[in-house]
Amino acid sequence: MEKGSERGGGGGGGVRCSRRACVLLSSLAVVFLTSLFFSVSLRGAVGFNYLEAPGWEESRRVKLVPSYAGAHQLPLPDSPQQRTCACPRCVGDPGVSDWFDENYEPDIAPVWTKDNIELPSDVYYWWVMLQPQFKPHSIHQVLLRLFQVIPGHSPYAWWDQHRCLRCAVVGNSGNLRGAAYGATIDGHNYVMRINLAPTVGYEEDAGSRTTHHFMYPESAKNLAANVSFVLVPFKTLDLLWITSALSTGHIRFTYAPVKQFLRVDKDKVQIFNPAFFKYIHDRWTKHHGRYPSTGMLVLFFALHVCDEVNVFGFGADSRGNWHHYWEQNRYSGEFRKTGVHDADYEAQIIQRLAKVGKITVYPGK
């Protein structure tokens, strides 16, 4: 009997244990499914409202994790589009072009200042290889010395949606000759010119006003006191040169002879930010060419500090010649074959910016 009872007890105990396990598993399954249901419901109800709630980055698109297989951009909230300026069409207005909005980063600073003195490592190593140097320098120390000579602040840190800041980006193309754009160019708030760009004797076609002149050391020239000198640096030595040219004058040569002293308004000297340089290379020219042309750098500088951008003197003339408006070049198309810049790809970008209404291009003659 004891053995039978033990066997029966053992068998009955095994059945009772299996039932308890089944009940426990069933309970866990119910809890899991209930939690999953409420989790999905809560994420759908709360998460959506959180992203779309008024005041939560209303003017920006919400991007999902890029590696997610279903990555896409959520649509902008169904609210009236907020204007970013008082011009008829504003560069910064979202929702006009998906292509532009996906690539345009309004928060990146075009000017290198005391506030963004440190470069991300990827930017620094890309920048120092543009024109490699054998002598190492501490970029931080070089900039600290430079910012003792110039202010090192950005004049573009504010934005007023009630303003209409109109900018003319004036290239050096021969298509300016005979175009009679002078008065139109001079009518802008900012007039931005590049490298040599003479105006004396070319006022009728190219205008006479300049507010910003973009140059690198090897193309630098003296400027009037009311003009901002914007240095486009390709190497640390360029920063050492501008410090020297505005003080001791001890640097006379980079890879070519440079001006020992520079007569410009120190308070108006600005330094083009290498991080902004790389942003244009990555987002806009898409690594076509070794790096973007100075014309492209100036164009996107304007797209980030101005409300309306009008472009003059870019591209070939009506005969297909690529030359400067102040000279006749026998080899007017040769620079397109150097591999440094991709002129054709850059021309496509300019054409597309015009097509989506972010710039207006004046074709010249």
- Could you read off the pLDDT of 61-83 as tens digits, one per residue? 322 222 222 222 323 333 345 78
Residues 6+ apart with CB under 8 A from 342: 285, 288, 289
Q: Which phi and psi angles does 328 have, rounded to 5°?
A: -105, 125
pTM score of the predicted model? 0.76
Residues with catalytic function: 291, 341
Residues 246 and 260: their CA atoms lie apart, in Å, by 9
Strand ranges in 154-262 using DSSP code E only, listed in sequence order: 166-170, 190-194, 212-215, 228-231
- The pLDDT score that the predictor gives to residue 331 is 58
- Asked if residues 325 and 172 have their Cβ atoms less than 8 Å apart, the reply is yes
- In the structure encoding, which two tokens stand for residue 144, read together? 């600290």
271 membership: H or E segment, kind and range: strand 270-271
Task: Give pLDDT tens digits for 310-330.
Answer: 999 998 777 777 778 988 765
Task: Give pLDDT tens digits for 227-247.
Answer: 999 999 999 999 999 999 999
Residues 87 and 234: their CA atoms lie apart, in Å, by 35
Query: Which CATH class, in words, describes the domain spanning 98-362?
Result: alpha beta
- Asked if residues 359 and 350 have their Cβ atoms less than 8 Å apart, the reply is yes
Collapsing DSSP to helix, strand or coil, 111 comes out as strand
More reliable by pLDDT, 308 or 48: 308
Domain ranges of the chain: 1-82, 98-362
| Residue 49 scores a pLDDT above 70 | no
Q: What share of the chain is helix, strand, coil (3-state, %, to 5)?
A: 40, 10, 50
- The pLDDT score that the predictor gives to residue 151 is 95
Residues 40 and 58: their CA atoms lie apart, in Å, by 24
- Asked if residues 273 and 116 have their Cβ atoms less than 8 Å apart, the reply is yes
Which segments of 43-96 does DSSP mark as H helices, in order?
48-52
Which segments of 113-256 does DSSP mark as H helices, in order?
121-128, 139-146, 182-186, 203-206, 236-245
